[in-house]
Amino acid sequence: MSQLAMHEGLVVPATCVDENRTPPSWFLRKMQETFAKDMLITWHKKKQRWVIEQCIEHHPGALFVNGVQEHSHLCRRIYVWLVRHENNGDAYMPLSERVIERLHEMETYRKYGTGPNALAKFRAESAAFDREQEKKKRENAHEIFRYLKRHHRVVRNKLKLLMERHDWLRPNK
């Protein structure tokens, strides 16, 4: 039989509790005050971990609650972090002050900041990195061509030397 869990005073299957997880309101408020109002956190059902994302474009039909635009699954979002314990690799990490500290340590916020310009900076750097990788790939291909050309010459010279040493047209000589 499946495991049971206590949820809001009711005994329900543990899978139901895990599937409907919501982050604590204090954590969401602190994260949005510290970083950006368009940060949100959701529960990833398959990985069984918290996922921190940032909304980069609101859905046109988004609702307003107390003057603040509410995020939904229809908003365009970018992935920030799949919350995992840093010492145990893939172990579950609960939402706490350590998660906020870890977000501060992550390079994306120091390097790009937050807001609409952050995405443009990230895309520009990503395109520059792709161009640099393509240039390295072409240079590597030229090096391989030069090596093969040199190697082919060596093989051809060895064959010529062996043919000169052994008179293969007159084998009984």
Cα 4 from chain centroid? 34
Cα 46 from chain centroid? 17
135's tokens: 């240039």
Q: Does the pLDDT at position 59 exceed 70?
A: yes
**What digits encode the pLDDT tens for the residues 44-58?**
878 888 888 888 887
State the pLDDT at residue 1. 45
Q: Does the pLDDT at position 70 exceed 80?
A: no
Which segment, 33-42, 144-153, 164-173, is predicted with the most confidence on average?
A: 33-42
What is d(CA 65, CA 87) in angstroms, rounded to the nearest whole number? Answer: 39
pLDDT-based confidence at residue 30 (cuts at 50, 70, 90):
confident
12's tokens: 């329900």
